Amino acid sequence: MIPSIIWTSEDKVKMIDQTLLPQKLEFLEFDDYREVATSIKVMNIRGAPAIGVAAAMGMALATIEYKNLPKEKFLEAMEEAANVLRNTRPTASNLFWAIDRIWKIIDTYPDNPENLSELIIEEAKLMAQEDIIVNKSIGKNGAELLEDGDVVLTHCNAGSLATVQYGTALAPIRTAIEQGKKIEVIADETRPRLQGARLTAYELQYDKIPVNVISDTSSGLLMRLGKINKVIVGTDRVTSDAVFNKIGTYLVALAAKDNNIPFYVAAPTSSLSLGETIKDVTIEQRDSSEVSNVLGKVRIVPEGVECLNYAFDMTPFRLVTGIITEDGVFTHKELLNRYL
């Protein structure tokens, strides 16, 4: 799959407009950080690592806008840009991780804004490259868990489109297939935004990886029927006591446990927030219309009835078999020992 986001040679941010997939593969190009912030909010780009890189590139655009200001004014304007980007989506830690990483450069180099701008643009580009390297390592580590003939269930889209390229949850599948193993994917449709049906199915078909889409309510039955061997999902934030991911992940984990099916979470270290616990995390609540209207169009709920639309849930570690990071595969205890 082609990269979901790049920094162009004209110093613009170019991204796939994921709201149009799978019908149209079209691109958006921005030279204003405010537009990047909006694109994160309305989910032209989505997925924890991808929005982290988008935020870093947004910060880089802001430096271009403000680089001719005196240092003090530059800092004020950059604070404002960081706040606008931080206030786009609350749950994925990568967004905050990325902005903090950019901010460290501002803190570390008491340089003039023009030089800072160059450094920050380079850092944002580096973060995009690193994302792919990290995902390939997750792929290599996770592929060891997969056997020839496995059918892997995934929820939402934690693939190439949710990162810069290659994906997190889909990385072990891609690598195992590159190694010659025969692997099939089952993708939950992932109501209400349908990232599984629209995006996971799109990118796997694009790369000729066998995939079947199921309604979210089917995975328990397929597990009981022995048609799923393993589950791999991505994550938006890993705290010391739970894994946050797309709404519905917890139910998949419960069903996997009940059927003795391994449940793995692919997590780049940029998604680890182990100094936090469940109570520190804001679960994004999105507009009621995402649930009441199919893809914002046909209304399926009686007029006047409001819907609850939590975008993420948390899965306790007792349901998680292992966490796949770029450094290896870890149990809960090992994860805390290594990274906390």
To ligand MRU, the closest distance from the beta carbon of 66 in angstroms equals 28
Residue of closest CB approach to ligand MRU:
234
Based on CB atoms, which residue is closest to ligand MRU, 240 or 249? 249
Q: C-alpha distances in angstroms, 83 versus 15, 203, 204, 291?
A: 22, 32, 35, 29
Q: C-alpha distances in angstroms, 310 versus 85, 89, 135, 200, 279?
A: 21, 12, 27, 21, 15
Tokens 């590139």 appear where? 57
Quickly list H helices, the chain: 33-41, 48-66, 71-86, 93-108, 113-143, 171-178, 195, 201-206, 219-224, 249-258, 289-292, 332-339
Residues that bind ligand MRU in the complex, under the rule CB under 6 A: 46-49, 92, 156, 158, 162-163, 168, 195, 234-236, 245-246, 311
236 is catalytic: yes
To ligand MRU, the closest distance from the beta carbon of 119 in angstroms equals 27
Based on CB atoms, which residue is closest to ligand MRU, 81 or 92? 92
To ligand MRU, the closest distance from the beta carbon of 331 in angstroms equals 20
The DSSP result for 175-243, as a single string, is HHHHTT---EEEEE--TTTTHIIIIIHHHHHHTT--EEEE-GGGHHHHHHTT---EEEE--SEE-SSEE
Give residues with Cβ within 8 angstroms of 126, minimum separation 6.
none
To ligand MRU, the closest distance from the beta carbon of 167 in angstroms equals 6
To ligand MRU, the closest distance from the beta carbon of 275 in angstroms equals 20
Based on CB atoms, which residue is closest to ligand MRU, 150 or 236? 236
- Active-site annotation holder among 100, 236, 241, 327: 236
Q: For 173, which DSSP code?
A: H
Catalytic residue numbers read 236
